[in-house]
Structure 1
C-alpha cells in the first residue's frame, strides 16, 4: 500500500500566515458519537467489555450524550468556542437534540462514520462508497449542509478512503496525526488537517491518569511551545474531547480554565477545522501565483 502523503519536513515549507497575525490556530475536535449496546467499544474497564449488555461501559459512554455534552456546551458558550464536531451519522437518529443545539450555534460538522462501535476497515471499494455516501448524506440532511472533513471511527481508513472522500466532495481529513500544520495529500484536492491522539481527553484522563490541573498545564504547555515555533510559520493546536470524558462534573472547571486561557491569548486564532482548511487553501493559491 502507498501512503496518501509524501515526506516534507516542517523546516522545508513555505510560511503559513493565519488571519489577524495570529501565530497558532486553535480548534476543538468534539467527538459526538453513538455506540451499539451489543458491540464492544471504548471502555473504562475492559473486564466487562465483551458482555451483552455491558452496562458498565455502555453506561459510561452514554453519559456523554445524556449529560456530559450539555455541560460541555455551556463551557463552549461561555468562551465563544465553536467546536468542530466529529459526528457519527447514527447520532442524527438517536440524539436529535444534540444536532439541534449544534445547528443553533453554527458548529462545524465532520463525518465520523456511522457509529464508533464499528471501525472503518475491511471494506471493498464499492461497499465503502455506499457506506461513505450514506454517512455523508445522512449528516447533510440532519445538519443542513454537507460535511467537508472526515475522521474515521478510531481514526481508521481503508486504502481507498481518501480517494472516495474526494469523489464525494470532502476536502480534508484528520486521520493522519503526523503534523502541526495542514498539508496536501497525494489525492488531488484533499488536505490533512492536524488532530491529536495525545492532547486528547480519552488518552490523557483514561490511559494516563491525568488530573484536571495537569490537563490545563498540558494545554498551556502545548500552546506556548507552538507559539515559540511560529517564526516564521503558523501552527495548529487541536484539542480532542469526548463528552463522556471531559463532560464529567469534576472535570468541568478544568475545561473552563483551559478555554479561558486560550481565549485570552492575543495571538491565538480560535477557529474550526473547516476554517483552517479554507485558509490553508488560500495560502496554497498564494504560493503558486
Structure 2
C-alpha cells in the first residue's frame, strides 16, 4: 500500500498537462553526486570485499567517479547543452567542493540526497531527523547559493516524517515515489508538495551493476524508453523521462560512449523539453493541471471522511 499522502489517480483521468512551448515530453538528467565512508558497505563492483575494514577495490572504484567520471559526463552535457539536476549528498560540499563549483558555474539545480550514500535514511528519531535535514539544507544553500527544493533519499529511503519535515524546510517535491509518468500532488502540509518522476530502472546502477547488462543494452533501454514515451505523450502530454546517472558507473569510458550515442539522438528532437527537476516542478505547480489535481485530491479526501 502507498502511504496516506499518495492518492490513487489513474493517468487516464487527469486534466491535460503540457510543457513550455506546447511540448509534450520533458526529459532530465539526474546526476547523482555522492560520497561514501570508508569501511562501510555500499554500491560495489566486487561484492566479496565490500564488508572489509579496508576495501581498496570498491572504494577506489567509487572514487573514480569524482576524480574522472563526473568530468567526462560534465563535458558531454556541456557539449549537448544539457543542464543537470544534481542529486547531491551534503558531504560533497565539504569533500568534493570542486564538483559543486562546477555545477554552480553551469547553473545546475540541486536536489538534496542525504548526507552520504553509506547508510539508508531510516530509523531516525524525529528531532534528530529534523536537525539533520536542517543541516543538509543549510550546507547545500551555503555551498550552492540556494536551498534545494527537492529530495531523493539515499537508495530511495525516507522515514514516515521525512516528507513533512522537508515541506517545513521549503522543499516542494520528492523523487522517491517512482509510481508515475507525470508529476502529481502529495497530501503533505505545509504544501504544496508534489512528486516528480524518477526511475529505479532507467538508471545506470540497476542496469549495469545489478543486472550486468552492457553498454549497447543501456543505449537501447534509453532509446526504447524515449521512443515509447514520446509517441504516447502526443495523445497524453505531460510525461517526464528521467535518466539516472552515477559518475563512477556511467563515467567509465566503455559505458560513456553509449550514453553519448543515446543522448545525441534524444536531443535531436526539438519537440522535447530538456529541463531540470526544479524547472519541471515550477512549471507543474503553476499549471492549471496542478490546481485541478489538488482540488480533486481534496474532494476525494472529503468523500472518505
Q: Which one is further off, 279-288 or 166-175?
A: 279-288
8 Å CA contact 1:28–1:84 kept in 2: the answer is yes
Match of 1:69 in 2: 70
Contact 2:185-2:290 within 8 A present in 1 as well? no
Say whether 1:205 aligns with 2:218.
no
User: Cα offset for 1:284?
Assistant: 3.8
Taking a change above 3 Å as real, the CA distance of residues 91 and 214 of structure 1, as seen in their structure-2 partners, is same
3-state SS, counterpart of residue 131 of structure 1: helix
Gaps of 5+ in 2: 296-305
The question of whether the paired residues in 1 share the 8 Å contact of 2:17 and 2:289 is answered with no
Query: Within 5 A, what are the aligned runs for 1:273-284?
Result: 273-284=277-288
| Matched positions, count | 289
Matched, 1:22 2:12: no
Contact 1:24 1:223 in 2 (8 A): no
Where in structure 1 do 4 or more consecutive aligned residues deviate above 3 Å?
284-289
TM-score (ref. length: structure 1): 0.97
Q: Given that residues 15 and 289 in structure 2 are in contact (C-alpha distance below 8 angstroms), is that contact kept between their aligned partners in structure 1?
A: no
| SS of match in other structure, 2:28 | strand
TM-score, with normalisation over the residues of structure 2? 0.92
8 Å CA contact 2:87, 2:110 repeated in 1: yes
Structure 2 match to 1:264: 268
How far the C-alpha of 1:259 sits from its partner, in A, is 1.3
Corresponding residue of 2:249: 245
State the Cα RMSD in Å: 1.4
Task: Name the stretch that deviates more: 40-49 or 178-187.
Answer: 40-49
Q: CA deviation at 1:57?
A: 1.0
In structure 2, the residue matched to 1:139 is 140
Superimposed CA distance per residue, residues 119-148 of structure 1 (whole angstroms, 9 cap, x where no aligned partner): 110011111100000011001100111110
Give the Å deviation of 1:67.
0.7
CA drift at 1:181: 0.5
Q: Any unmatched runs of 5+ in structure 1?
A: none
1:225 to 220, 225, 228: 228
Shift of 1:287: 4.5
